[in-house]
């Protein structure tokens, strides 16, 4: 029972090398077979044309083309520098076909070829990791589980940065396990720069590796021949972690990438939404854990299927147990994973839609999880083979390897077939919607057209026009605006300089409520419809010419105000224009309604809700005015510029959807009641006079409060003009 292992894992004889070679050849055969099936299914479904399964994949190709043209980080002409490519390094790897102007098909083929190479490299690294962590059994299991996972095949062939990130992470983990004993880390410290540049998660994990390296160096420095503990090389992992953020700062002036601004919960502009999401984060982490246990096969509401979850849980439990027991362990210490996994869970949960597209935000770390599965089972097999009498240990070792594969392989085969078909339909969707729209734009629109769009990838790549990404991934300054709401987006659009104002829009109209009724969209010029949508945001992508008539003149009162006789406009606040709201320190508050409790919350919170409307004034029914505003459920506060001691007249543009009785205060002093009657589908401009004795300083704070902030109604200010 206490016999030592017959073959230390550090030593590899001819038999072990021959086994590795055979496994490598088998891996190449499986990869060629599965990739061949994938591409064959795609060509059948698309009618022979090569595409990619995600529009975001073309964002990388467009950034790569920009690099080849000599303006890296500038997505299309007219845009400022942006960091919408989630990976800093991946676009540079996609540059070669663009340097030689080989065209989109060859660029797609190059992207897929990189995915295939990375797939093989990751499989090789999985084998090395499996052997390091659990011997030959771990090696076989790690490679089998990796190659058998259909989601990873989809991810590696998606044209995204998943293969780069996953391969760099596997390499970093393997180097750490090989170098942690001497703790000098000559290769790992440089590999971490590649990891950090592969994805934001890679930057976070580089910092975690840095902490692990410090711990390993401390342990090694205590031995007689160990290295010095204090060393500048220990700072390199943290330099690697900071590297992508420094690049963001140099390129855009912000450490946060524009991709993160558009997708991360940390950039959510609505405080109540951000707070609610962060409060629910533990549940998200749990669901990510369930997804890993269930091989991404979660039922609705995060329910796990036992045939996936039970073997996975057993394997992880064995990995954890054999990480601490027995004291003399023949396998490498893989407990660094316990440090990496929480960081990966945390960062992977930050995107608002963290589970979309076959869990693509979670796929990069998943091979490490599979390595742990394989190590848990492989360690059990190795322990049984070396520590238990052969008559019992041999069958137990075989059972530890064969049983999970026997249980999972039928499901793997079924899901592989399903994911291959899914991939083909994804490619067909992108080809017949985004690519189709881009080609139409290239054939039909003027060369100086500016196209406002969502889905910034293939439309820009094939359209060859200046673009404005209204989601904010690839156009500077639009991420926060879009996430603040359609009213805020409208206010930003109408203030763009003429050369940057969209002349056409290529959008999902449902993503931009009220934009069509605002009057800036002309008659539909083109539509790309999907009969069977598997991956796109909507079935129809529509192209509209832009019309800006009746939009620009929304900044002045439209009605005469005899009550302002002798006064002039001293200040104005345009709601939903973020810069103006910030300048006036505007904010709005209210009470959230708890759907579960069916009651109003007791504590107020910031509720920043926008609105976009187009109405006429009753005295000019043929001249509609579009304006963005805010819905105030409880009360709002803002500062204005004023001359102390003079009466102040507030004039509000509103749609008066509800009748309201408002209490107005100035610097905490009650100024009176402002009654606003309901309007019938027309703009109104009610006014309220503040006595001069209440205006005691140049920047008084105005507060306007509804009588009942919990009645479900609101009032909607679109513009304030301050007369004195």
12 pLDDT tier (thresholds 50, 70, 90): low
Contacts of 21 (CB under 8 A, 6+ apart): none
* Residue with the two structure tokens 């004795």: 693
Q: What is the pLDDT of residues 163-196, one digit of tens each?
A: 999 999 999 999 999 999 999 999 999 999 999 9
- CA angle, 494 then 496 then 499, to 5°: 120
Contacts of 270 (CB under 8 A, 6+ apart): 483, 484, 606, 607, 608, 609
Q: What is the pLDDT of residues 640-654, one digit of tens each?
A: 999 999 999 999 999
Provide the pLDDT for residue 6.
39
Global pTM exceeds 0.85:
yes
Provide the pLDDT for residue 637.
98
Tokens of 363: 């796929």
4 pLDDT tier (thresholds 50, 70, 90): very low
Q: What is the pLDDT of residues 471-522, one digit of tens each?
A: 999 999 999 999 999 999 999 999 999 999 999 999 999 999 888 888 899 9
The Cα–Cα gap between 145 and 245 comes to: 34
Provide the pLDDT for residue 15.
59
Neighbours of 720 (CB within 10 A): 22
Q: What is the pLDDT of residues 128-153, one digit of tens each?
A: 999 999 999 999 999 999 999 999 99
Largest CA distance in the chain: 105
Q: What is the dihedral of CA 575, 579, 582, 586, to 10 degrees?
A: 0
The Cα–Cα gap between 442 and 437 comes to: 9
Secondary structure element (H or E) that encloses residue 362, with its range: helix 356-363
Q: What is the pLDDT of residues 433-442, one digit of tens each?
A: 999 999 999 9
Provide the pLDDT for residue 631.
97
Provide the pLDDT for residue 81.
95
Is residue 557 within 8 Å of residue 721, measured between CB atoms? yes
């Amino acid at each position: 029972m206490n016999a030592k292992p017959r073959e230390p894992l550090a030593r590899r004889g001819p038999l072990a090398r021959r086994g590795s070679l055979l496994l490598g050849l088998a891996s190449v055969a499986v990869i060629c077979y599965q990739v061949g099936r994938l591409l064959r299914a795609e060509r059948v479904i698309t009618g022979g044309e090569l595409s990619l399964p995600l529009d975001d994949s073309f964002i990388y190709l467009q950034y790569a083309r920009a690099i080849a043209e000599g303006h890296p980080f500038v997505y299309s002409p007219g845009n400022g520098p942006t960091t919408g490519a989630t990976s800093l390094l991946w676009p540079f790897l996609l540059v070669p076909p663009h340097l030689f102007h080989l065209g989109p098909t060859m660029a797609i083929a190059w992207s897929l070829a990189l995915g295939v190479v990375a797939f093989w490299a990751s499989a090789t690294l999985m084998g090395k990791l499996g052997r390091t962590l659990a011997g030959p059994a771990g090696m076989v299991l790690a490679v089998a589980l990796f190659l058998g996972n259909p989601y990873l095949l989809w991810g590696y062939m998606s044209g995204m940065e998943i293969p780069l990130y996953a391969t760099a992470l596997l390499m970093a983990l393997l180097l750490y396990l090989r170098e942690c004993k001497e703790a000098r880390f000559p290769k790992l410290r440089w590999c971490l720069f590649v990891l950090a540049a592969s994805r934001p998660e890679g930057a976070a994990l580089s910092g975690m590796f840095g902490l692990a390296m410090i711990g390993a160096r401390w342990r090694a420095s205590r031995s007689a021949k160990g290295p010095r503990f204090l060393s500048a090389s220990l700072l390199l992992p943290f330099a690697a972690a900071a590297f992508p953020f420094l690049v963001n700062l140099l390129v855009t002036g912000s450490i946060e990438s524009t991709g993160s601004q558009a997708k991360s919960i940390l950039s959510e502009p609505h405080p109540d939404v951000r707070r609610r999401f962060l409060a629910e984060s533990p549940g998200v982490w749990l669901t990510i854990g369930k997804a890993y246990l269930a091989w991404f096969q979660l039922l609705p509401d995060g329910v796990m299927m036992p045939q996936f979850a039970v073997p996975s849980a057993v394997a992880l439990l064995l990995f954890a147990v054999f990480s601490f027991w027995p004291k003399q362990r023949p396998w490498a210490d893989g407990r660094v994973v316990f440090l990496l996994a929480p960081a990966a869970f945390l960062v992977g949960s930050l995107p608002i839609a963290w589970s979309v597209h076959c869990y693509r935000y979670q796929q990069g770390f998943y091979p490490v999880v599979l390595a742990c599965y394989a190590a848990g089972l492989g360690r059990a097999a190795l322990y049984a083979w070396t520590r238990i009498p052969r008559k019992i240990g041999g069958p137990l070792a075989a059972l530890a390897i064969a049983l999970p594969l026997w249980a999972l392989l039928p499901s793997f085969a079924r899901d592989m077939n399903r994911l291959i078909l899914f991939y083909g339909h994804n490619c067909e969707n992108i080809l017949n919607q985004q690519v189709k729209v881009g080609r139409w734009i290239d054939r039909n629109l003027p060369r100086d057209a500016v196209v406002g769009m969502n889905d910034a990838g293939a439309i820009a790549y094939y359209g060859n026009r200046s673009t404005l990404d209204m989601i904010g991934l690839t156009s500077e300054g639009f991420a926060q605006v879009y996430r603040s709401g359609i009213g805020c987006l409208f206010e930003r659009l109408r203030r763009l300089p003429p050369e940057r104002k969209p002349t056409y829009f290529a959008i999902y109209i449902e993503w931009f409520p009220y934009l069509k009724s605002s009057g800036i969209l002309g008659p539909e010029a083109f539509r790309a419809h999907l009969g069977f949508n598997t991956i796109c945001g909507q079935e129809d992508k529509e192209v509209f010419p832009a019309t800006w008539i009746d939009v620009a003149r929304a900044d002045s009162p439209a009605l005469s105000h005899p009550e302002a006789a002798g006064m002039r406009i001293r200040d104005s606040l345009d709601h939903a224009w973020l810069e103006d709201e910030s300048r006036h320190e505007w904010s709005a508050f209210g009470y959230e309604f708890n759907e579960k409790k069916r009651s109003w919350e007791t504590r107020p919170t910031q509720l920043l809700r926008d609105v976009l409307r187009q109405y006429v004034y009753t005295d000019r029914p043929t001249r509609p005015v579009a304006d963005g505003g805010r819905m105030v459920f409880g009360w709002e506060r803002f500062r204005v510029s004023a001359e102390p001691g003079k009466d102040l007249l507030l004039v509000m543009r509103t749609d008066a959807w509800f009748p309201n009785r408002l209490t107005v205060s100035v610097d905490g002093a009650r100024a009176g009641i402002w009654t606003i009657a309901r309007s019938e589908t027309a703009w109104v401009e009610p006014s309220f006079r503040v006595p001069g004795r209440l205006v005691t300083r140049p920047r008084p704070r105005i507060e306007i409060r509804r009588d009942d902030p919990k009645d479900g109604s609101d009032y909607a200010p679109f513009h304030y003009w301050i007369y004195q």
